[in-house]
């Protein structure tokens, strides 16, 4: 029997999108092939401490955090090549259980699979730790993760390479905190931002947290203050009133592939956190299924073929330009009044796996296969990078 690959699935984290990460990770661990992979769940609590244990597979455990964490083994990943896995810190409260289940100081891991949403998980931070530890990991590398997490930098980079984006400006918290009304006035003085409505959103977050649709000048400063509860940079964009959102997923397993497209449907005109994650997650309808529960039209039959092809073309191009790997969902805005198509944002894995789009694609790719592809691609990339010469000897110090 072939030895199973030991996969550490990391989730949670120090982000306002913490619970969405938990939902995504539980979905992934249900979908992963147990015959091919030996999964070690690794939960990063809001405090920043890392834990592992079989109890993490129980959704109910998270309703009593932090008290329930006493049942788990605390671990960490040392930024030191050659360790071979997760290092244990201390032990569980139940010492008998510790002796039974945690016999060694290292939990062997072959590859790390982060399933975070938001800061410290999508933005290159955890990827940097993986690089320092010299371990294989799925998804994009440090530079790609960092730039795709920063909506403003991502848009400006793609614009320089000919990808159409809406005008955008940014305001930093350090500047606005001295005089938030002055910051609001500055925004209105910029070309293209003197009229309303405007969108004001966190530059480095997803899940529609902290997003405001500003319809008059008096609401601009409060919208900035809302952003600065969660992020240090606000992104301001003009609002396209008559729009259609079109998304596509791209993956790079043995070539660059595009999924079918989707049109997410909002009841309010702005996709809120509740619409994305809670619409089908109430007590009557069962637990939230994350983004998969959002109302959407997948592979819309009446979408103009030229628009569909343009979304796929720009999706492939943007994925490649940004140096992404694994799976990413790219979101576009179609201005129905002018016919112009704009790149809006990129949600790179671990921010989005978009498995629901691949299940409807031709050929059909189920979530289990997507996970296989990401792991195989990551191991192949790690092997290639291992051939690079890192040591040219000591010359300047002699």
Tens of pLDDT along 95-123? Answer: 444 444 444 599 999 999 999 998 899 99
Is residue 56, in this structure, part of any structural domain at all?
Answer: yes
Give yes or no: residues 11 and 128 share one domain. yes
- Phi and psi at residue 369, in whole multiples of 5°? -70, -35
Is residue 338, in this structure, part of any structural domain at all?
Answer: yes
Domain boundary among 238, 264, 288: 238
What is the residue-wise DSSP string for 215-255?
-SGGGHHHHHHHHTTT-SEEEEEE--SSEEEEEEEEE-SSS
The conformation of residue 35, written as its DSSP 8-state character, comes to: T
**197 preceded by cis ω (within 30°)?**
yes
> What's the whole-number average pLDDT of the chain?
89
Give yes or no: residues 32 and 93 share one domain. yes
Domain boundary among 223, 238, 253: 238
> Can you give the CATH number for the domain in which 52 is found?
3.40.50.20
Give yes or no: residues 186 and 275 share one domain. no
Distance CA 154, CA 311 (A): 17
Distance CA 245, CA 237 (A): 15
CA angle 277, 26, 86 (to 5 degrees): 130
Distance CA 210, CA 205 (A): 8
Distance CA 224, CA 230 (A): 11
Tell me what the mean pLDDT of segment 66-76 comes to: 94
Distance CA 245, CA 363 (A): 24
pTM of the model: 0.86
The stretches of 32-134 forming alpha helices (DSSP H) are 95-101, 125-133
Give yes or no: residues 229 and 250 share one domain. no
Residue 69, classed as helix, strand or coil, is helix
Give yes or no: residues 153 and 298 share one domain. yes
pLDDT of the residue at 393: 81
Give yes or no: residues 153 and 302 share one domain. yes
The answer to whether 143 and 311 are in contact (CB under 8 A) is: no
Is residue 218, in this structure, part of any structural domain at all?
Answer: yes
If one counts the domains in the chain, the total is: 3
Domain boundary among 194, 214, 238: 238
The stretches of the chain forming alpha helices (DSSP H) are 18-31, 95-101, 125-133, 142-149, 151-160, 173-176, 180-189, 220-227, 273-277, 305-321, 355-358, 367-385
Give yes or no: residues 207 and 87 share one domain. no
Is residue 391, in this structure, part of any structural domain at all?
Answer: no
Tens of pLDDT along 222-231? Answer: 999 999 999 9
**Which residues span the domain enclosing 130?**
5-137
- The token duo for 155 is 């848009």
Tens of pLDDT along 195-234? Answer: 999 999 999 886 678 899 999 999 999 999 999 999 999 9
The conformation of residue 299, written as its DSSP 8-state character, comes to: S
Give yes or no: residues 215 and 297 share one domain. no
> Can you give the CATH number for the domain in which 265 is found?
3.30.470.20
* Of 157, 120, 144, residue with least CA distance to 324: 144
Is residue 333, in this structure, part of any structural domain at all?
Answer: yes
Tens of pLDDT along 73-102? Answer: 999 999 999 999 999 998 554 444 444 444
The answer to whether 359 and 367 are in contact (CB under 8 A) is: yes
- The token duo for 186 is 């500055």
Strands 212-214 and 198-202: antiparallel
Give yes or no: residues 154 and 298 share one domain. yes
**Distances in whole angstroms, Cα of residue 372 to Cα of each of 202, 241, 274:** 33, 41, 31
Tens of pLDDT along 43-64? Answer: 999 999 999 999 999 999 999 9
> Can you give the CATH number for the domain in which 189 is found?
3.30.1490.20
Quickly tell me which residue has 């790149």 as its tokens: 343
């Amino acid at each position: 029997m072939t030895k199973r690959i030991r996969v550490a699935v990391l989730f949670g984290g120090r982000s306002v999108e913490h619970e969405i990460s938990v939902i995504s990770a539980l979905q992934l661990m249900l979908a992963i092939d147990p015959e091919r992979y030996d999964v070690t769940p690794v939960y990063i609590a809001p405090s920043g401490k890392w834990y592992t244990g079989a109890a993490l597979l129980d959704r109910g455990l998270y309703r009593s955090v932090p008290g329930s964490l006493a049942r788990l083994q605390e671990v960490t990943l040392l930024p030191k090549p050659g360790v071979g896995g997760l290092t244990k810190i201390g032990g569980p409260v139940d010492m008998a259980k510790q002796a039974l289940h945690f016999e060694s100081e290292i939990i062997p891991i072959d590859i790390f699979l982060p399933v975070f949403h938001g800061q410290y998980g999508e933005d290159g931070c955890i990827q940097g730790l993986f690089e320092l530890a010299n371990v294989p990991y799925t998804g994009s590398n440090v530079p790609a993760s960092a730039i795709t997490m920063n909506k403003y930098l991502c848009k400006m980079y793609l614009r320089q390479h000919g990808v159409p984006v809406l005008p955008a400006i940014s305001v930093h918290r350090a500047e606005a905190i001295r005089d938030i009304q002055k910051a609001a006035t500055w925004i209105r003085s910029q070309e293209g931002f003197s009229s309303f409505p405007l969108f004001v959103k966190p530059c480095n977050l997803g899940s529609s947290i902290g997003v405001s649709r500003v319809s008059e000048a008096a609401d601009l400063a409060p919208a900035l203050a809302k952003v600065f509860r969660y992020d240090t940079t606000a992104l301001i964009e003009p609002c396209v009133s008559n729009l259609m959102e079109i998304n596509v997923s791209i993956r790079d397993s043995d070539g660059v592939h595009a999924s079918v497209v989707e049109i997410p449907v909002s009841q309010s005109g702005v996709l809120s956190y509740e619409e994305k994650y809670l619409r089908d997650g109430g007590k009557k309808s069962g637990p939230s299924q994350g983004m998969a529960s959002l109302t959407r039209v997948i592979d819309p039959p009446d979408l103009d073929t030229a628009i569909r092809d343009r979304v796929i073309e720009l999706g492939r191009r943007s994925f490649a330009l940004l140096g992404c790997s694994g799976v990413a969902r790219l979101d576009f805005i179609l201005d129905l009044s002018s016919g112009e198509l704009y790149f809006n944002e990129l949600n790179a894995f671990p921010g989005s796996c978009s498995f629901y789009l691949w299940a409807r694609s031709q050929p059909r790719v189920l979530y289990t296969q997507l996970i296989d592809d990401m792991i195989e691609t990551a191991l192949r990339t790690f092997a290639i990078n291992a051939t690079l010469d890192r040591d040219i000897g000591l010359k300047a110090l002699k």
